[in-house]
Amino acid sequence: MRRLEGKRTIVTGAGSGIGRAIAHRFAAEGAHVALADVDEGAARKVAAEIGGGCLVHRTDVTVAEEVAALVRRAVEEWGGLDVMVNNAGVGVAATTPETSEEDFERVMDVCVRGTFLGMKYAIPAMRDSGGGAVINMSSIAALVGLKERAVYSAAKGAVLALTRAAAIDHVQEGVRVNAIAPGTVETPWISRITAGLPDPEEARRQMRARQPHGRFVRPEEVAAMAAYLASEEAASVVGACMVVDGGVTAG
């Protein structure tokens, strides 16, 4: 069943990890997909993997003019917009005193400002299209305290707060706004944060051991949740935070 047949969608951070998996899943479900990433080459590679029917648009989600241009291009290409996935994000592994002001600003800019701008420009386009669905990428770091994730937790908590407020503001306009809170996902970010440790493989083993189901979450599992939220099956799901974490927050 192709639940997203003909849906006009944008995915930010589509060049790798969760964004790449969402782009693949949406395309497989019949959607038109605009792949947005600050790394245009990575986005073009994903488009080639999908095999056609995608737009590629280099986008820095922290720059209002670039996000506005992204939405405008999708609307001009397809005549409207149905789904916006605000997935682009960055993180830093550090305690509060160890976090530089530059890292603080970067994480807040990409995660919070990027989500805000995505909604600011996508929601009016969805209203003009008769409604739609916004999916914001939060994290279980917004729900529970995690070691050395202070700024990332704050940013993803802000994403969740934005999601809930926007959901109330726009539900009567036919725009549903929801969030996904993944746990530890097998993405290139895991490799980056463990690469500088004395024993990266041991660090990965310890991270896996903390997962109740004994492994990292797969990007495709997060993508499956995104496809559900984008579909009409989720018509009454509004302002929700859908946790995909293998049980980490269960106890």
Q: What pLDDT does residue 187 have? A: 80
Q: What pLDDT does residue 248 have? A: 92
> Within a domain: residue 200?
no
> Within a domain: residue 40?
yes
Q: Is 121 annotated as catalytic?
A: no
| Six token digits for residue 93 | 């592994």
> Within a domain: residue 64?
yes
Average pLDDT by stretches of 10, the chain with 251 residues: 94 98 98 98 98 95 99 99 98 93 98 99 99 98 92 98 99 99 86 76 80 91 99 99 96 77
pLDDT for 63-110, tens place per residue? 999 999 999 999 999 999 999 999 999 998 899 999 999 999 999 999
> Within a domain: residue 189?
no
pLDDT for 126-138, tens place per residue? 999 999 999 999 9
Which position among 71, 152, 156, 186 bears the catalytic label?
152
Q: Are 17 and 240 in contact (CB under 8 A)?
A: no
pTM above 0.85, yes or no: yes
Distance between CA 97 and CA 30 in Å, rounded? 47
Scored b (16 or more CB within 10 A) or e, 174-188 reads ebbbbbbbbbbbbbe
Q: 224's torsion region: left (phi>0), alpha (psi -120 to 50) or beta?
A: alpha
Amino acid (one-letter) located at 58? R
Q: What pLDDT does residue 194 have? A: 74
> Within a domain: residue 3?
no
Count of domains in the chain? 1
Q: What pLDDT does residue 98 have? A: 96
| Six token digits for residue 181 | 């809170």
Q: What pLDDT does residue 188 have? A: 78
Residue 241 phi, psi dihedral angles, 5° rounding = -120, 105
Q: What pLDDT does residue 28 have? A: 98
> Within a domain: residue 203?
no
> Within a domain: residue 212?
no
Q: Report in angstroms the alpha-carbon separations of 192 from 88, 91, 187.
A: 16, 11, 9
Look up the domain containing 50 and give its range.
8-182+217-244
How many residues in total does the chain contain?
251
> Within a domain: residue 202?
no
What CATH number did the domain enclosing 147 receive? 3.40.50.720
Q: Report in angstroms the alpha-carbon separations of 177 from 165, 227, 238.
A: 9, 14, 6
| Six token digits for residue 192 | 């980056």
Contacts of 149 (CB under 8 A, 6+ apart): 91, 93, 141
